[in-house]
């Protein structure tokens, strides 16, 4: 039995592809400072296909995502979904001046706060 995807699911998937393409284009142009042909060669695809990906009309395969991840320093979560991949480094930086005991106490407070918010 085949399950048809709803129009809403297909629209969401299309929107995600468009946003992913914009991120990849931004990385290519503003961080890697590469043209399409150069990046495409580096990640093992054609420049034409990279153009389709950046326009939200195609998806990269695992191997190409991994190569882009390695080249750019971004996480696959950022490339695929736009999730902030700098949060761990930012958190480490902010916590450098605190002792382990202070950090544990802060996390206990955060845990209590989340439980309080959830219950209200």
Same domain for 52 and 69, yes or no, is yes
The whole domain housing 48 covers: 7-83
Same domain for 74 and 100, yes or no, is no
Residue 70 located in a structural domain: yes
Same domain for 102 and 74, yes or no, is no
Of the candidate ranges 47-51, 87-91, 112-116, the one whose mean pLDDT is the lowest: 87-91
Examine the pLDDT at 1 and tell me if it is beyond 50: no
Examine the pLDDT at 21 and tell me if it is beyond 90: yes
What would the mean pLDDT of 15-35 be, rounded to a whole number?
97
Examine the pLDDT at 2 and tell me if it is beyond 70: no
pLDDT band at 58 (very low <50, low <70, confident <90, very high): very high
Model pLDDT, residue 46: 98
Same domain for 99 and 60, yes or no, is no
Helical packing angle, 7-26 and 47-54, nearest 10° = 120
């Amino acid at each position: 039995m085949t399950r048809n995807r709803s129009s809403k699911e297909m629209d969401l998937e299309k929107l995600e592809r468009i946003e992913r393409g914009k991120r990849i284009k931004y990385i290519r142009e503003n961080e890697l400072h590469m043209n399409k042909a150069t990046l495409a060669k580096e990640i093992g695809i054609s420049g034409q296909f990279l153009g389709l990906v950046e326009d939200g009309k195609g998806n990269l395969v695992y191997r190409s995502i991994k190569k882009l991840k390695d080249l750019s320093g971004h996480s696959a979560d950022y490339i695929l979904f736009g999730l902030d991949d700098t949060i761990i480094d930012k958190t480490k930086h902010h916590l450098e001046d605190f002792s382990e005991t202070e950090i544990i106490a802060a996390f206990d407070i955060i845990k209590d706060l989340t439980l309080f918010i959830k219950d209200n």
